[in-house]
Structure 1
Amino acid sequence: MKIEGSVALVTGANRGLGKAYTEALLARGAAKVYATARDAASITDPRVVALRLDVTDPASVAEVAEQAKDVQLLINNAGIATGAGVLDGDEALRREMETNYYGPVRVARAFAPILAANGGGAVVNMLSALSWLSLPNTAGYSASKAAAWAATNALRLALREQGTLVTAVHVGYIDTDMAAHVDGPKVAPGDVVAQVLDAVAAGQHEVLADDTSRRVKSGLSGDLRNMYPALT
C-alpha cells in the first residue's frame, strides 16, 4: 500500500519504536497518524492525533476503533517484557500474554472491518527473533511472541480476501528503553521502521530486520542443540 496520503494508527506510540513509527509515517507523507498509548498525555507531538488505548482492555480497544474509522494502516507495536522465567509464577506470564498476544489480536479484530471499508490496507505486527528462541529470562516474552507469530500467520489468511496485507516483523534487540539493560548489538529504531514501511509499500509479508532475526530463523531447520548449546 502507499504510505503517502494514508491514515495510520500506531499502538504504544509514546516512546521508543512507536514514536519512531509516528515520526517516519509523518516524514513519508501520511495524511493522519493516530498515536496511541495507555496515557495519551504522554504523547506530545502536535502533528498526531493522540488517543488513549490499553490493548489489554476490550472496551478501550472498541472505543478507539469508534474514534478512528478512517484507518488504513494499523501498526501493532505495543508490548511489554517482564523478564519472567517459565518457573516464576503466573502473574508476569499472563501480563505478557495479555499485552503481546491478545493485545494485537484484539486490536486487529476491531480494525479488520475498518480496513476492509477503507480499501484493505495493511496490518503490521511487531514480533521478535524471540518468537523462535527462548532464553532463561525471556520465557514469558518468547511464549507471547511465539503465540503472536502464529496469530499473525492466521490473520494473514483470514484477511486475504478483503485485500489486507499482514506484515510480520522479526528483530533482535532494538536500541530502546526495553533493551537498555542489554549489553550487545542493537539496531536503531529508525532502521527498523524504514525497513517495515518499505516492506508495506512493496506488499511484503515478512521483515527480518537484522542479522539476529535472520540467523535465528535460519537455525530453525537445524539441530536443536545449535539453537540451545546448553543441551549438548
Structure 2
Amino acid sequence: MLRKFTFLALIAVSCAKDDNSPLVISDVEINLKYDKQHQYSIKRGNKTLDNSAVKWELNDKNLGTMGTDGLFKARKVGTSHVNVTYNGALAQGNINVTPYSNLFTEPIMKFGSSMSDIKYLEKRKKIAETNNGIMYEGENSKIQRVAYVFDNDKLITALVIFKSTTAVAEEAGLFYKERYPKVVIGDPYIIFVDDDKIKIVGIGVDDDYGLVAIYARSDAGLRTNSSKALTEKHRKVINELKAKLASSK
C-alpha cells in the first residue's frame, strides 16, 4: 500500500511541476522566405502539447498566416512575433521573412512631402533638379535613375528607371512580389498594391524610358493598359529633369 501511495504521489508532483513549468516554443527565432512555411511545436515541462490546444497569434497578420495547428505560412518580407498562450502561460518567437532579392532601396513615398524633405531623406546622389522634380543616380548597375515628381512642392509620384534587360526585369518582378503580395495584372503594366492601401507600384515597359516602376497613391488609377502609364504632366517633369541632366554634362 505504501509503495502504491508513493508512486501516485510522485505522479502528482510530476504533473504539478509540468503545470507550473514555462511554455517553450520549438523555435525562438526563424528565418524563411516569403514562399516557405514552418511548423512549430510547444512543450510545457516534459510534455509536448497538442498544437490545437494552445492559442497562436501573429503581431503582424500581413506577414503570413498562423494556423491553429502551429503551421506558419509566410506571405511577404518583414518581421513579426508569434505569441503562444496556454492556461495563462505565454511563449513568444521571432519570425523574419527575408528577401530573395535586395535589388535596390525603394523611393521615399511620403506623399505630400516637400522637395526639401525628400532631399534630406534620400541618400542617393542627386544629379538634376527643377522646380517640380528631383532626379537621383541609381545606386547600382541595375538601377539607372530614381526621380521624384512634385506639385506645388508636394510629392505626388516617383519613377524608377531600371536597366532594360530580361534578367533585371525578372528580378524586379520577384523584388516586388515578395514585398507586395496583392497584384493586379494589366497589359503591359503589373500593379502591386501596398497592404496599407496607401500606395501602388506599376511595373512595365514605357515607350520613352524602358523598364520602369511608377509609385503613386493607391487611388491614382494608373493606366495599366497603356505603354505610357505616367500622365503627361508627370512625363513633362521627368523629361525636364533628363534635359537638365543632359545640359549639365
Instruction: Determine which structure has greater relative contact order: mean sequence separation of CA pairs < 8 Å that are 6+ residues apart, divided by chain length.
Output: 1
Structure with the higher helix share, 1 or 2: 1
Structure with bigger gyration radius: 2
- Which structure dedicates a bigger proportion of its chain to strand? 2
TM norm structure 2: 0.29
TM-score by length of 1: 0.30
